[in-house]
Amino acid sequence: MRVLVVEDDKDLNRQLVSALGDAGYAVDTAFDGEEGYFLGDTEPYDIVILDIGLPKMDGISILEQWRRSDRKMPVILLTARDRWSDKVQGMDAGADDYVAKPFHMEELLARVRAQVRRASGHAKSEIECGPLRLDTKSARVTCNGQQIKLTSHEYRLLAYMMHHNGRVVSRTELVEHLYEQDFDRDSNTIEVFIGRLRKKIPVDVIETVRGLGYRLSENPAPTA
């Protein structure tokens, strides 16, 4: 899952990046409105955390422009202005949620998870796919009730695929959604991680769709 954080306060920005990074997200960051707008307009983010009071371009205008140009990723507004009229304005501009400063990081993370889930069509905080279960709250994956220990990158990959289960996910898509902007994008690394996941998961859940990408299968056969 790839997150964009647009926040001009350097300390808060750093805290958000580290908290989201710890929670398994690939985080891009912007410190002013123009930069934030550009990133959100060009990169495929799974969610955006957007401060309203920003230099150069305010959050509401950024959001409105994104929505006008049909950028549909979930956006959580972050602001000190917690009047209901501000909330209404923000939500009407196209935001999906609203978090008032100062906030508990856990609450923000919970809302981020909820929005990501909602965007991929999952109502509950636990996503199931055949024998696999992903608990988005605790960032744990189990297979037939047994926990699978995953590294951060493996988790990111599997979590993304489970959010988008039932459809084919291309390598490019995975690269775009799993790594930060300045990451060296080599789709071979994806193959390496897929290989590692296949080894760790006792059932053959990851199908390779030739020429297209990967898909999680609902009725996997147990691996040898």
Partner 1 sequence: MRFNSLAFRLFATAAAWTLLVLPIAGFIIYQLYRDDVQASFDGQLLKLVNAITVDSMGSAAQEAHPLPPSNLYEPLFEVTHSGWYWQITPLQPASGRKLVSPSLATWTLPSPAAKSVVPDLSGARWLNAKGPKGEPLRLVEVIDSLGHEPGKPRYSIVVAGPQDWLDHLVSNFRYRLTTALALAGLGLVAVTLFQVRFGLLPLRQIEGGLAAIRSGAASTLDGDLPAEIEPLQSELNALIRSNQAIVDRARTQVGNLAHALKTPLAVIANEARTDKTGLGDKVVEQAEIMKDSVTRYLDRARMAARAGVIGRVTPVGPVVEPLVRVLQKIHQDKGVVITVDCPPDARFSGEKQDLEEMLGNLLDNACKWSQREVVLKVEVPATTSRAKNRRLLITVADDGPGLNEEERKRIGKRGLRLDETKPGSGLGLSIVLELANSYGGSCELARASQGGLQVRLNLPAA
Note the residues at the interface with partner 1 (CB under 8 A): 9, 11-12, 15, 19, 53, 79-85, 87-88, 91-92, 96-98, 100-105, 107, 110, 114, 118, 123
Minimum distance between the CB of residue 186 and partner 1, rounded to whole angstroms? 33
Report the C-alpha gap between 75 and 20 in whole angstroms: 15
Give how far the C-alpha of residue 194 lies from the chain's centroid of Cα atoms, to the nearest Å: 19
The end-to-end CA distance of the chain, in Å, is 31
Contact of 129 with 216, CB cutoff 8 Å: yes
DSSP designation for 164? T
Nearer to partner 1, 57 or 175 (CB): 57
Smaller CB separation from partner 1, 100 or 148:
100
**For partner 1, the closer CB: 50 or 169:** 50
Nearer to partner 1, 9 or 32 (CB): 9
What is the Cα–Cα distance from 119 to 147, expressed in whole angstroms?
26
Nearer to partner 1, 87 or 198 (CB): 87
CA-wise closest residue to 153 among 24, 29, 46: 24
Whole-number minimum distance, CB 75 to partner 1, in Å?
Answer: 12
**Least distance to partner 1, CB of residue 63, Å:** 14
Kindly state the smallest distance separating residue 67's Cβ from partner 1, in Å.
14
Between the CA atoms of 187, 192, 194 and 195, what dihedral angle is there, to the nearest 10 degrees?
150
Closer to partner 1 at the Cβ: 76 or 159? Answer: 76
Q: How far is the CB of 146 from partner 1 (least distance, A)?
A: 29
28-63: buried (b, 16+ CB within 10 Å) or exposed (e) per residue? bbbbebebbbebbeebebbbbbbbbbbeebebbebb
Minimum distance of partner 1 from residue 101's CB (angstroms)? 4
